[in-house]
Structures are given as structure tokens and as C-alpha cells.
């Protein structure tokens, strides 16, 4: 049951993974095709840190309304990812190789250990695997399809497992030099659009 509870978390967590994956291979997207992606990602191991801003707009189908949030993010190959939501409430999320920690008002409100929570491990693993250049990890969980080759490009990830499929329809990634946006479509009709800007890589 705990595992099932985590599915939702995992699913949404993957959107983060995708958002960080994207700028990585976007840089060399001129080499088209999925097999080419692999070599693009190989370059990714050289990226030591990434940072930028994000604007998120979540459409809730049930209520026919959108929920907006914004903030900044930073990734460091050693320290992991920080996802700081500034509006509407300041919340800090940290994903490392060992754990996922969420803080609000300087207080830890959630901490999930990678070893105790396999779903947490999956998020962390996929995330780090991509930055380590291991494309196989992502293709284990998703079918990857090119929607639009060239610049701007669009790719679509569709989940392979039953558990993910029941919640998540697809993740679409759009970008030019870096990833510009990702769109998360859930089976219940909800759609989350995350727009990235001012992305800097080192």
C-alpha cells in the first residue's frame, strides 16, 4: 500500500527528472533520432551544474481552473537538485542520491530515504543516471518518440509500466538550445506545464 501511495509522488517526481534531462541533450539536439540521443547524453556527464528559473501552470480538469507557481532550481552533480518554489508558498525540495527532503519555513516536512522508499530511489536513480550519461535507465521506464526533429524540437515520453500508465499519459519536452518547456499529461485530464528560463550550465 505504501508503494501504491508513492506512485503519485514518483510520477510527478519524474517530471522533474525530465525537466533536467531535457536541457542536457537539447544542447546537441542537431543529431536527430533516439540512438543519437544516447551520444548526446554521453556528453552530459561533463555538465557539472545547471541553474535557472521556472514557471509552473497546472490545469486541473475537474475544476476547469489553473494553479500557478514559480521559483528557481539548481543542479549540482555532487549535491543533487534543489527545486525552490517561491510562490504561492515558499517550499524547498532537495533530491540527492540518498534521500528526498522537503522543507517549509525552514522546517523539514518530509524526508524519504532512498533505501526505505524504492519509489524515491527510482526518482533519484533515473535522475542521476541521466546526468551520468546512462540513457538505458530512462528507456527502461519510458518509450521515447520524436515529435518534431530539428529546432525547436519536441519529444514525447510514454510510461512503460502499468503503475505509471494508470496515472500518467505522457511527458512532452520542448526546446531549442536548452529545454524550454515540459508538459505533463495525467490520465485524469490534468495537465502541468513547466516553463524554464534563464538556464545556465557550467
Binding site for other proteins (CB under 8 A): 1-5, 7-9, 12-13, 15-16, 56, 58, 60, 62-63, 65, 67-69, 83, 85, 87-89, 91, 93, 100, 102, 104-105, 109-110, 115-116, 118-119, 122-123, 161-163, 166
How far apart are CB 69 and other proteins at their closest, in Å? 4
Match 533519484 to its residue by C-alpha cell. Answer: 124
How far apart are CB 1 and other proteins at their closest, in Å? 6
**Nearer of residues 146 and 191 to other proteins, judged by Cβ:** 191
**Nearer of residues 32 and 61 to other proteins, judged by Cβ:** 61
How far apart are CB 178 and other proteins at their closest, in Å? 19
Angle formed by the axes of helices 34-44 and 118-131, nearest 10° = 90
Q: Of 128, 125, 109, which is closest to residue 117 (Cα–Cα)? A: 125
**Nearer of residues 27 and 95 to other proteins, judged by Cβ:** 95
d(CA 144, CA 148): 12
Query: Residue 51: what are its φ and ψ, rounded to 5°?
Result: -150, 155
Strand 168-175 to 91-95 pairing: unpaired
**Nearer of residues 4 and 78 to other proteins, judged by Cβ:** 4
**Nearer of residues 27 and 50 to other proteins, judged by Cβ:** 50
Is 117 exposed, middle or buried, given 0-12, 13-18 or 19+ CB atoms closer than 10 A?
Answer: buried
Is there a contact between 92 and 106 (Cβ–Cβ < 8 Å)? no
How far apart are CB 45 and other proteins at their closest, in Å? 23
How far apart are CB 91 and other proteins at their closest, in Å? 5
d(CA 112, CA 76): 20
Amino acid at each position: 500500500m505504501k508503494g501504491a501511495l508513492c506512485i503519485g509522488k514518483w510520477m510527478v517526481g519524474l517530471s522533474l527528472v525530465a525537466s533536467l534531462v531535457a536541457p542536457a541533450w537539447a544542447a546537441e539536439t542537431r543529431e536527430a533520432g533516439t540512438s543519437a540521443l544516447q551520444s548526446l547524453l554521453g556528453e552530459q556527464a561533463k555538465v557539472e551544474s545547471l541553474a535557472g528559473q521556472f514557471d509552473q501552470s497546472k490545469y486541473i480538469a475537474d475544476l476547469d481552473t489553473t494553479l500557478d507557481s514559480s521559483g528557481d532550481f539548481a543542479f549540482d552533480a555532487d549535491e543533487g537538485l534543489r527545486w525552490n518554489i517561491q510562490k504561492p508558498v515558499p517550499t524547498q525540495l532537495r533530491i540527492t542520491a540518498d534521500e528526498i527532503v522537503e522543507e517549509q519555513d525552514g522546517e523539514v516536512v518530509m524526508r524519504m530515504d532512498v533505501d526505505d522508499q524504492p519509489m524515491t530511489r527510482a526518482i533519484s536513480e533515473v535522475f542521476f543516471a541521466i546526468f551520468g550519461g546512462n540513457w538505458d535507465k530512462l528507456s527502461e521506464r519510458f518509450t521515447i518518440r520524436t515529435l518534431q526533429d530539428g529546432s525547436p524540437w519536441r519529444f514525447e515520453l510514454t510510461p512503460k509500466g502499468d503503475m505509471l500508465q494508470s496515472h500518467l499519459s505522457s511527458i512532452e519536452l520542448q526546446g531549442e538550445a536548452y529545454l524550454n518547456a515540459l508538459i505533463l499529461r495525467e490520465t485524469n485530464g490534468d495537465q502541468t506545464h513547466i516553463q524554464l528560463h534563464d538556464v545556465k550550465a557550467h
